[in-house]
Structure 1
Amino acid sequence: MHISSLSIRNFRNFYNSKFIFKKGINTIIGENGSGKTNLFFALRVLIDDKLPRYIRFYESDFNRSLGKWAGHWMILAVTFEELDASEEAQVLAVQSSGDMEGNKNTGSYSVYFRPKYQFRKELYDYSQTAGKTVEGLQLYLDKLTVDDYETSYLCRGTGDFSDDEIYKKYVGDFEAVKFPNPDNKEELIFGTFLPREISVHNEVSCTFIKALRDVESDLRSYSTNPLINLLRGKEKTVEISKQTDIIKSIDKLNDQISSLKEVKEVKDGIDKSIKEAVGTTYGPNIDVKSELPNDMEKLLQSLKLWVGDPDEEGYMGKIWELSLGGANMIYLSLKLLEYEKIRTDRIANFLLIEEPEAHIHTHIQKTLFDNVQTNKTQVIISTHSTHISSVSRISSVNILSRGKKQTLVYQPANNLDDEYITRAERYLDAIRSNLLFAKGVVLVEGDAEQILIPQMFKKVFGISLDEIGVSLVNIGSTGFKNVARLFHNDRIKKNCAILTDLDASIVDLPANENEDSTYQKHCRASQVSGAERKEKLDKFCKNNDFLNPFYSDYTFEVDFLMNGNSHEFVESLDEIFKQQAAIDSSKKKLQDKSVSVAGVEVLRLADKKGKGWLALVVADNLVYNTYIPDYILRAVAFASAHLNNATKAKTAKYRLRKIGRSKFDEYFETAKKTSFKGKDDQEVIDEYVASFPNDQFTKFLWYL
C-alpha cells in the first residue's frame, strides 16, 4: 500500500492543493517558506502515531487567502493505492455509487475540521430562507469561534475537495449563500467512521526525520533505535547449544567480576558506612554484583553500533563521535532496512525526510537517493537541494511555489508521455535542475549567452537574475523542447522564455545561390536553418501561455555588438592580440556600422578564441549603459512577470545613481534634478518612467 495523492484544503499555506505521489521515493521541491514543513505536518496528522490522535487546530491554521475563515472547513485527505486483502487495509477501501463492493485496491482517509452539527444546521436553514443575503450570512458566521468546530476522521470518502465545485456543493457556497443539509450524511463523499478496533495511526509505520533532528538520541533510545528493531527476535534463531555456551560464559564472567578484590572493598565500605549510620538492627545487608544480561534477547539488545571513518582505516568509535551528517546517513539507512526487513505487521511503511541536505554532503545526497531501493517503504523527501532534485524522477516530484497568500503545487510530469519524461530526467543535472526552483526561466543555447546575459543584467540594472528568482539555463545541443514542455498549464505554471538565433546572413547573398562563395553558402544554409527553427518553435509554443520564443536577427555575438556595444569588445582586444597593429585593425572593423564588416569580425574573434572565452573577457568590460538587445530584454521581462514593486524601485534608484554620475549620458541633467526621497515604491517607479522615457529600464517595465 502506498499514498497516491494528498489533498489539502484551507490549511496554512495551502488554499486548494493536491499532491500526486508514486511508489518508492518522492521529492517535494520548494523555496523557503513555500510550505514543505506544513505539508509534512498535514501528512503526519493523518498517519503518524507520534502526534496526538486528535489534533487541535486554531484560527491561524486557516489559509490567509480565505480572508474571513469562519464557516469554512479545513480538509486533509489522503488516497491509498494497492491495498492488500487484510481487514485493516480493506476498511479504507472506497465505495462507489451503485457498487457495494467498491474498489478494493484504492482507499481513502480524511480529517475534517468543520463547524459542529448545530452550526452547520443553522447555515443550511438560513440558506433556505427567501430573503437570504451575504450580509445576513455574515451575522451567523460572526458568532463562530474555533471552539464551535469539531475534528472528524473518516475513511472511504470519494470527494475531491480540491475541486472548487465539490467544495461549494458539499461544504458551502459562501457567495451564493448555499449550504447543504448536514442531515444528509453523504457518506460516499465524506466517508464513514473507522471501526472502533482499528486506527490508521496504529496500522501503518511512519517516521518523520526533521531537518535538524538529533538522531544520535534516537540511536541511543530503546524505543526509537532501528538497530534494536532489526535485532529483535533474532535470539530465537540462535542454536540452543550456542545460547547455552554464551549464557554459561556470561554467568562465569559475572562471578569473576563480582569477586574482584576491588569490588569487594567497595561493597564492604558501603556496608560499613550504612551500619555505622543506622545500626545493625535496621541497616540492610549490601552486596555488589555484576549483572551482565544472561538472556539472549537482552544480550542482543545490548549491542551497539560502532562506526569508523572511511579515511581512517582501522579505527572504530561510538555513534556520537560522528558528525550530524554521518549520524543522519546511518539512521536513514537503518530505518529503511528496518522497514524493508522487519515491519511485516504493518500494512504500510512511510518515511518522511525533511531537507536531508541540512546535514548530508552533496555527493552523498546524490548517491543515497539515487541508489536506495524501496519495496515496502514509501519515502517522501522535501528539499531545496539541486543535487537531490537532479536524481529525482520528475514523475515523482511535486513543486511548491509561493503565490499570494497561498502555495501553488505543480507536477512537472503531468500528462507527459514516458518518452518525454525520460528525456527531461536525463537532462536535469544538478546545475540545470535549478529551473525547478525558479519563479521564471530563460532557456539559451550557448555558453556566451549563459555567461554574458546574467552579467549584463546585473551591471545594467543593479540586480541579479538570481535575486529576482529567474534561472537562465544553457540547453546546449539538447533541444529546447525536451525541457520547455515542462512549462505548461498542466504542469509547471511559470513563464519560460526561449532565446535562440535566426542566423540571418551577415553578408549579402546573390539572388542565384549557385553563385555563392564558400562563405556565402555557409551563411545561406544557416539562414535557412534559422527560418525552419523559428517555424517549428513558434508552432511548439502556440497556445501555451507559459512559453514564449524570442529571436536574435543574426547570432548572439553579432546582435550584441550591433546594438551599440562595440566598446565592450574593443576594450577586450588586448586580451586577444599581442600586436598593436592587429588590435587597431580589429577595432576599426568592430566599430564599423555595417553588419557585413563588424559582424564578420566579431565572429572571427569568437572562432579564434571560442565563444565562451570571448564572453568571459567581454563580461569584464560591461558598463551600466551597455545596451541589452531588445529580444533579450523582452525575454527576461517575460520570465519576470512576478517582479514586485520593491525590486523595480531598487533598480530605478540604482539607474538614477549611475546616470547622475555620467556627464555624457543623455539623461545626466534630468538625473541631477530627480529625487526619490520620501516616495514610496510605486511613486518611484512612476516618476522614473516619466523622467526617463527612453531608458532601458523604462522599456523593461513596459515589457513587463
Structure 2
Amino acid sequence: MYISKISLKNYRNFGNIPFEMKLKKFTTIIGSNNVGKTNLLESIGLILSQDITMFRKRILQVEDINYATRLKFKQDILNQSIPFDKLEFPEVKVQLTFEGMDNKQLSVVGDWFSTKTMDKAKLTYVFKPTNNFDREAWVTKQRGNIKLLMSERKGIKQEDLLKFIEFPIKSYQYIIYGGNDRTNRVDPYFLSMLKLELLDALRDAKRELIANGDYKLLYRILNQGEENAYEDIKEVLSDLDEKIRGNDQLSDIRKTLIEHLNKISLQGTGENNIDFHFSTLETGDILKKLSLIYGQEPITIDRNGLGRNNLLYISLILSRLAPEENIDTCFRIVGIEEPEAHLHPHLQKHLATNIEQINAKRDDLQIILTSHSTHITSSLNTENMAVLYRDGSDIKKHYITDGFEETKKGKEHRRYLEKYLDATKSSMFYARRILLVEGIAEQILVPLLFNLSYGKTLDSIGCNIINVNGVAFRHFLEIIRNGYFIKCVVLTDGDVGKKSENRAVNLKNDYEKPYSTIKVEVNKETFEKELIEANKSGLGKEILLEALNHTRLNKGPEYAKEIKNNEIETDIFFGMIEDYKSEFAFNLGDEIKNVNKDAFQVPNYIKEGFEFILD
C-alpha cells in the first residue's frame, strides 16, 4: 500500500484552490526554500502521525491557516454588502488517497473505500468551525465593532481595520473521516495501524540516540519488543542489587545517612529507611539507561560527529521499520527532510542510493524525501523526482519526466537526462530562471557580464546558469515544454556557414514561439567572436588585449604592438585564442570583474537574453 495522491487546501502556504499531487512509493521532492516541502510532509502527519506532539498540532493555530485566505475572509467581513450566510469561513483540508492494498491492509481500510471497485481508500482531515458555532452572531459582532471604530476614528484605513477583526480560531475543531462521507469518523484503533515517521530538518540526532525518555527514538525502538525479551538482563541486575546491598563501603554510607536523617526528621514514621540499588527491574527503566557507542574505536554519542550521528539516526529509523509479527502496524510512511545534513558529498550519494534500495524491498513502506542537495538528487531515479515551485502566489508541482512519451525521441530525452543531470545540472530545479549555454567559456563569463550590466548577480535573482557541454539544449527544454514553467534563456552559436547553421533557427522555431517562458538568443558565429566584435576598440579593446597577454605570453604582446591604435581584427584575435578558450575566459573574467559598466560592451544577443530573464 502507498499514498498515491495528496490534496491540500488552506494549510500554511497552500491556498484556497486545492493543491493536488500524485505520490509514488518512493518520492523525492525538491525545490527552493519556503516553497512548501516541509508543510507537505507535516500535513500528512495531521492524519497519520502517532507522535504525541503531532496530536497537539492537529488543533491548528491561526498561523497554520493560509494567510491569503484569512486576509480575504477578513476583507469579506468588512464588506457589509455580503450576507453572513454567504461568507466562506476558511477550512483547512488534507486528503490522502491510498492504493495497492494487500489483504491485511484491506481489512484495516475497509471502512474508508472511496470507489465502488474498492481499489482506493481515502482519509481526510478537516479543520473547521464547530457545528454549534453561531456564525451570524459572530459576524454581527465583528461588523458592529468595525462600525464603532470607524465612527471613533475618522479616516481610518481599511488595512488598519482588518487588524481589529479577530479570527474565530477558538471555535474551530478537527475531524478525520474515511471515504467520501464526513460522518464516517475514523476509528483511532485502525488509524494507529498506519504510521508516519518524520525526520525533520532540525532534528536533534544526538538527543534521539539516547534512550533516557519515553519519546526518544532509541527508547521507542528498544521498547517495541515483548515484555519478556529482557528477562536475562533482569536476572543479572537482581544479582547485582544483592551485591550492592552486601558491599561494606555502601553499607557504611547507608548507616551514616540514616543516623543523620534520624537526627533532623520525625521519628517513628519509617521513612528514614534507605538503601542503594542499581536499577529497578521494570523493562522501561532498564532501557532508559542504555546508550549507543559507535565506530571501530567506539565513542559515545556525545563525542560523535554530527555527520555520523545523522547517519546513525536515519539507520535507526529504517531499522525500526523492520517487519515484526508482534507489532500491529500494516503500513508505514517515512518522511526524511534534508538527509544531506552534515554529510560530505560522497556520503550523500551513497546514502541516497541505499535508501532507494531499502524502499524497493518493502511492500508496506513508503518514503518521501525532500532535499536541497544536488548530490542527493543526482543520485536518485528521475522518474520519482518532483519539483515544487511558485507560479505567482500558487504552489505547483512537476515530475521531471512527465510528458516524455514512450516514443523513440521521448526515451532518448529521458536517457540523456538520467545520464547528464549530475550535481551541477540538477541545480536547475532549485531556481526560477535558468540560462542554458554551450560551454565553459560562457559559463565563466556570462554571470560576470550580467553583474557588469546590472550591478547584481544571477544568484540574487534566482537564476542558474547551466552548461550543457555542447548543443544538447532540447533535452533540457523538453522539461520546460512538458509543464515545468520556469523562465529559460538559451544562448547559442549561429554556426553561420557550417552544416549545423540551421540548428539554432530550428531550436528557436520549435521552442521559443510556442512557449512564452522560453527565449532562444542566437549569435552569428561563436560566443568569443561576438565578444571581440563588440569590443574592437576603446576600453574594451584594452581589456581584451590584457586578457590575451595573460593567455598567450608571447603572441599577446606581439599582437598588441602590431595593431597599435588600430581596431582588433576579429578573425586574427580569435585564431590566437581558439585552442585556449577556457583559459582566455578565466583571464578575461579577471579583467572585467572590477571595471565599470561602460568599459566593456556586452553583445546584443546576450543583452536581450538578460532583459527577458529580468522581465
1:205 aligns with 2:195: yes
The equivalent residue for 2:45 is 44
* Code of the aligned partner of 2:23: F
1:306 aligns with 2:293: yes
1:611 aligns with 2:598: no
Query: Aligned equivalents of 1:255 and 1:560: distance in 2?
Result: 88
The equivalent residue for 1:483 is 476
Task: Specify the SS of the correspondent of 1:553.
Answer: coil
Query: Aligned equivalents of 2:48 and 2:563: distance in 1?
Result: 71
1:440 offset after TM fit, Å?
0.6
Query: Aligned equivalents of 1:380 and 1:258: distance in 2?
Result: 53
Task: Specify the SS of the correspondent of 2:121.
Answer: strand
The equivalent residue for 2:334 is 351
Task: Specify the SS of the correspondent of 1:380.
Answer: strand
The equivalent residue for 1:33 is 34
Query: Aligned equivalents of 2:188 and 2:200: distance in 1?
Result: 31
Task: Specify the SS of the correspondent of 1:571.
Answer: helix
- Is the alpha carbon distance of 1:447 and 1:205 closer, same or farther for their aligned partners in structure 2, counting shifts above 3 Å? same
Contact 1:397–1:412 (CA under 8 A) maintained in structure 2: yes
Query: Aligned equivalents of 1:397 and 1:225: distance in 2?
Result: 31
The equivalent residue for 1:371 is 354
1:451 aligns with 2:471: no
Query: Aligned equivalents of 1:272 and 1:231: distance in 2?
Result: 41
- Is the alpha carbon distance of 1:9 and 1:63 closer, same or farther for their aligned partners in structure 2, counting shifts above 3 Å? farther
Deviations 1:202-233 (A, max 9, x none): 12221222222223332224534444555557
* Code of the aligned partner of 1:628: V
Greater CA drift, 319-328 or 331-340: 319-328
Query: Aligned equivalents of 2:173 and 2:267: distance in 1?
Result: 65
For residue 638 of structure 1, the aligned residue among 609, 612, 615 is: 612
1:611 offset after TM fit, Å?
1.0
The equivalent residue for 1:217 is 207
Task: Specify the SS of the correspondent of 1:638.
Answer: helix
Contact 2:307–2:342 (CA under 8 A) maintained in structure 1: yes
Query: 1:70-469 to 2 correspondence within 5 Å?
Result: 70-71=87-88, 72-85=90-103, 86=105, 87-95=107-115, 99=116, 102-104=117-119, 106-114=120-128, 145-146=168-169, 151-157=174-180, 187=181, 193-196=184-187, 198-200=189-191, 202-221=192-211, 222-232=213-223, 250-278=237-265, 281-284=268-271, 286=273, 288-292=275-279, 303-308=290-295, 313-314=296-297, 316-342=298-324, 345-372=328-355, 373-374=358-359, 375=362, 376-417=364-405, 419=411, 420-469=413-462
- Is the alpha carbon distance of 1:463 and 1:336 closer, same or farther for their aligned partners in structure 2, counting shifts above 3 Å? same
Task: Specify the SS of the correspondent of 2:55.
Answer: coil
1:36 offset after TM fit, Å?
2.8
Task: Specify the SS of the correspondent of 1:110.
Answer: strand
Deviations 1:622-680 (A, max 9, x none): 2322221121122233333xxxxxxxxxxxxxxxxxxxxxxxxxxxxxxxxxxxxxxxx
Identical-residue share of aligned pairs (%) = 24
1:452 offset after TM fit, Å?
0.7
Query: Aligned equivalents of 2:461 and 2:274: distance in 1?
Result: 73
User: What is the aligned residue count?
Assistant: 546
Task: Specify the SS of the correspondent of 2:423.
Answer: coil
Query: Aligned equivalents of 1:530 and 1:224: distance in 2?
Result: 66
TM-score (norm 1): 0.69
* Higher gyration radius (CA): 1
Greater CA drift, 584-593 or 274-283: 584-593
1:21 aligns with 2:4: no
1:68 offset after TM fit, Å?
1.5
Q: Which runs of 5+ in 1 are unaligned?
A: 123-141, 158-186, 506-526, 641-703
- Is the alpha carbon distance of 1:421 and 1:266 closer, same or farther for their aligned partners in structure 2, counting shifts above 3 Å? farther
Contact 1:446–1:474 (CA under 8 A) maintained in structure 2: yes
1:553 offset after TM fit, Å?
0.5
- Is the alpha carbon distance of 1:576 and 1:359 closer, same or farther for their aligned partners in structure 2, counting shifts above 3 Å? closer
1:18 offset after TM fit, Å?
2.2
Task: Specify the SS of the correspondent of 2:389.
Answer: strand
Q: Which runs of 5+ in 2 are unaligned?
A: 74-86, 137-164
1:590 offset after TM fit, Å?
11
1:236 offset after TM fit, Å?
8.8
Task: Specify the SS of the correspondent of 2:307.
Answer: helix
The equivalent residue for 2:529 is 558
The equivalent residue for 2:501 is 530
TM-score (norm 2): 0.79
Deviations 1:443-479 (A, max 9, x none): 1111110011111111232111111111110000471
Query: Aligned equivalents of 2:387 and 2:397: distance in 1?
Result: 6
The equivalent residue for 1:574 is 549
Contact 1:233–1:297 (CA under 8 A) maintained in structure 2: no
Contact 2:477–2:511 (CA under 8 A) maintained in structure 1: no
